Chains A and B, each alone.
Chain A
């Protein structure tokens, strides 16, 4: 079942600004992952954060995880036009099956 909810569904900002996307989930997880998808293309893995981690950085990306609230956020700093894409969170539940459950996604538009 689809358990990830993302907020906002769509976000439009000016180039150079920061973009924040949120993800909530319902069940216990092993890890949470963020992916980017350009229109009509496959998924690009951005970052994985484990259930015992609270924050992780990768370049201009910062991900937080709050397991008590069952939520995560993805921050993209100093946004660029090339960051325009859909962003999805995906949870990997406890059990070892590695069946990812994807959120509904946030469509991010960076205006030049």
Chain B
């Protein structure tokens, strides 16, 4: 149980285009989902906290107009990278916290974004 999926697993796009990444909790409901970014050989940096039915909370330094987050249901959150640039190339990972409160978050397998 407690599986989180991400789609797509890899995406290559041209500079200036927008890319949408989906994060789904497959067998549980998640009131809160988190989006992280990881550059090569570095750690995960939290970008934003996504709560179902409300606006996302962004970490300092993360542009909310560039990284659009929508948490439309208890099993789906999406991250859209708008007007992508090569410096946005990174590994994006989501995690989901079950609606029944636990201390554990479940992580997705990640999405590798390459902007040409």
Contact = CB atoms under 8 A, between A and B. Distances in A.
Contacts, number: 56
Given A40-B112, A99-B46, A99-B49, A30 B103 contact: yes
Contact of A2 (B45, B104, B110): B45
Interface stretch (A14-22, A57-65, A72-80, A100-108): A100-108
B93 to A, nearest CB: 6
A42 B46 contact: no
B107 A42 contact: yes
Nearest to B107: A43
Contact of A41 (B49, B95, B110): B110
Contacts of B95: 43, 100
Contacts of B103: 30-31, 48, 50, 92, 98
A88 B38 CA distance: 12
B5 to A, nearest CB: 10
B46 A101 contact: yes
Contact of A103 (B43, B46, B105, B110): B43
What 6 A-B pairs come out closest when comparing CB atoms? A42-B109, A43-B107, A102-B44, A102-B43, A42-B110, A104-B43
27 contacts: A2-B43, A2-B45, A4-B43, A35-B107, A40-B110, A40-B112, A41-B109, A41-B110, A42-B93, A43-B44, A43-B93, A43-B107, A45-B104, A45-B105, A48-B103, A88-B43, A90-B44, A98-B32, A98-B97, A98-B103, A100-B34, A101-B46, A102-B36, A102-B43, A102-B44, A103-B43, A105-B43
